[in-house]
Amino acid sequence: MTIKPYFCNNCGKLLTTASRKKSIARQISWFKKLVHNKRTLKSLSAESKKSISVLRRLFSEFLSKPPTYRIKKNSNCHLIIDGTNYGDDCILNYFDNDLKYLQSGNIVNRENYDNYVVDLKLLKQSGLNMDSITSDGQKGLIKAINEVFPNVVHQRCIIHIQRMSKIYLTRNPKTDAGITLLYWVKKLHEIETPEQKNKWIGQFAGWQKKYRDFLMEKSESPSGRKWYTHKMLRRTRPLIKNALPNMFHYLDNSDIPKSTNGLEAKFSYFKLNLNIHRGLSKKSRKNFILWYYYFKYND
């Protein structure tokens, strides 16, 4: 077998195929340290014995194109879907909770139905067998899930329901209705048995009945314009009511994640890494994010 030599575009050295593989492996390791380990060009230059300009050229080549995600087979996938905003971008992640693996990642302008349905169809076409999906219940995502995976269990994120309810109710509600509902909202993540679930649902039903007239109260301005007085309480009620049918699937199957919290926590780490490299172009910034997750879940 003849090993064909070639000239490296970056260093100008004559390399064989074997040495080329080693060279590329080193370059990838340096790039990974830049993306994943919060290393600077200066520190990597000292470690690699390469000039900053050479490293910048190498890394620009990596950042000019995104990595290719490989969807792993899973016959019973319990998927967590979550999105986060970074600047003008929205990062959509599809995390396999069984394999602890990011099956897919995408960066889009908006978190909406069109973007979600494209990603979900890709996962379905890959042969990934979906057993459950856990999400924060974004409207476009719910619509996409119902279209692509109509028979798959959809678990609503308990922590997201709590978080949004607390925002609407505030930390210190001024009414008995608000104080009572906040108390039960804070109990949501503690539910671990069907009995606790039934008690909680009963308490929520009782709350709705008790404060039905209170929630219908209206205020009126001097000009005669009317509005519902307790609008934030009224906003919390449908948030919980609409999510209720999909809030407790995790009690029937312990493999179903009851929240997206584990995935959300991972977002904060890449933002710290990306902040070190603020001068990146928009395209490079997007690819930096995709490379970050690629390295994180493809070791």
165-169: Cβ within 8 A, 24+ apart: 165/236, 165/239, 165/240, 168/232, 168/233, 168/235, 168/236, 168/239, 169/232, 169/233, 169/236
Cα gap 18→24, rounded to integer Å: 10
Task: Say if residue 193 is in the same domain as residue 279.
Answer: no
User: What total of structural domains would you count in the chain?
Assistant: 3
| Residue where one domain finishes, among candidates 64, 94, 118 | 64
With 90 as the cut, is the pLDDT of residue 15 above it? no
CA 138/CA 215 separation, integer angstroms: 25
In this structure, are residues 39 and 8 in contact, taking their beta carbons and an 8 Å threshold?
A: no
Residues 186-206, mean pLDDT to the nearest whole number: 97
pTM of the model: 0.82
- 4 — pLDDT class (breaks 50, 70, 90): very low
Phi, psi (5° rounding) for residue 96? Answer: -85, 110
Residue 185 and residue 55 share a domain:
no
Same domain? 172 vs 249:
yes
In this structure, the answer to whether residues 226 and 195 fall within a common structural domain is yes
Check whether residue 221 and residue 291 sit in a common domain: no
Same domain (yes/no): 163, 251:
yes
Checking if the pLDDT of 2 tops 70, the result is no
Statement: residue 6 has pLDDT above 50: no
Q: Is the pLDDT of residue 162 over 70?
A: yes
When pLDDT is averaged across residues 224-252 and rounded to a whole number, the result is: 95
CA distance 25 to 6: 17
Residue 72 predicted with pLDDT over 50: yes
Q: β-strands 14-15, 89-96: how paired?
A: unpaired
Q: In this predicted model, what pLDDT tens digit does every residue of 103-132 receive, in sequence order?
A: 988 888 888 999 999 999 999 999 899 999
Q: Averaged over 271-290, what is the pLDDT?
A: 75
Mean per-residue pLDDT for 198-225?
Answer: 94
Band of residue 296 on the pLDDT scale cut at 50, 70, 90: confident
Domain limit, last residue, from 64, 82, 109: 64
Residue 72: DSSP 8-state = P
**Burial profile 25-47: b = 16 or more Cβ within 10 angstroms, e = fewer:** eebeebbbbbbbeebebeebbee
What value, to the nearest 5°, has the Cα angle with vertex 104 and ends 264 and 95? 40
Residues 253 and 119 placed together within one structural domain of the fold? no
Give the model confidence (pLDDT) of 25-41 as tens digits.
888 888 888 887 778 88
- 10 Å CB burial of residue 54 (0-12, 13-18, 19+) is middle
Residue 68 corresponds to which amino acid? T
Joined together, the tokens standing for residue 212 give 């039905």
Looking at the fold, whether 50 and 120 belong to one and the same domain comes out as no
- Of 64, 97, 112, the residue that ends a domain is 64
Question: Domain check: are 165 and 290 in the same one?
Answer: no
What 3-state DSSP class applies to 292? helix
Q: Tell whether 44 and 173 lie within a shared domain.
A: no
- State the average pLDDT over residues 1-18: 47
CATH number, domain at 85?
A: 3.30.420.10
Q: What is the mean pLDDT of residues 251-255?
A: 96
Per-residue tokens: 282: 């928009």
> CA 18 to CA 22: how far, in whole Å?
7
**pLDDT confidence band for 98 (50 / 70 / 90):** very high
State the residue range of the domain holding 278.
Answer: 68-156+260-299
- Rounded to whole angstroms, the Cα distance separating 221 from 116 reads 43
Q: Examine the domain organization and report whether 228 and 175 are in the same domain.
A: yes
Q: pLDDT band at 244, cuts 50/70/90?
A: very high
Residue 1 has pLDDT above 50, yes or no: no
Q: What percent of the chain has pLDDT over 70?
A: 88
142 shares a domain with 200 = no
